[in-house]
Amino acid sequence: RAGAGTEAVLDDGARLPFDLFLGIPVHRVPAVVAASGLAENGWIPVDKGTAATRFPGVYAVGDVTSVGTPKAGVFAERAADAMVDTIVARIRGGAEPAGYDGTGACYVELGEGRVGHVAVDFFSDPSRPRGWFTEPEGKDETVKDEFGAERRARWFGVAG
């Protein structure tokens, strides 16, 4: 509403005026996870390579973990792939796989049909993440659109 709510109040009590506010809610585990006993200090602690929790045979990936990567689907997807490989190897008695490497990548649309690529590695250097940006090679949104369509189909069963 005009004239109301034109300040954001930060955690330290500071006030920040705004004309347009685009925000992301605070990430936290759902109440059911907090009540389950899995979470410590607000997150489920896991082995960052295997996604194993402190409970034998219990694994966790995604927004509920303290794995050390952003709370984004591309990181959860890669961690889940590594977790599955680990579980299968343990069930079959095979060699333990390398595990999740803390990397993820996505596309960023820059307007006018230009799409760049961002890749980040959070585990190789514990002191700071490393990231790479690949400039668009022209005006082709197809690769980003295909990336999104594949994930919508695989994650949610939504075509297109």
Per-residue pLDDT tens over the stretch 67-121: 999 888 899 999 999 999 999 999 999 999 999 999 999 888 888 888 889 999 9
Residues with Cβ within 8 Å of 52's Cβ and at least 6 positions away in sequence, in order, are 46, 58, 59, 86
Whether the full predicted model's pTM is greater than 0.85, yes or no, is no
Whether the Cβ atoms of residue 38 and residue 63 lie closer than 8 Å to each other: no
Task: Quick: pLDDT tens for 1-21.
Answer: 445 568 888 889 898 888 888
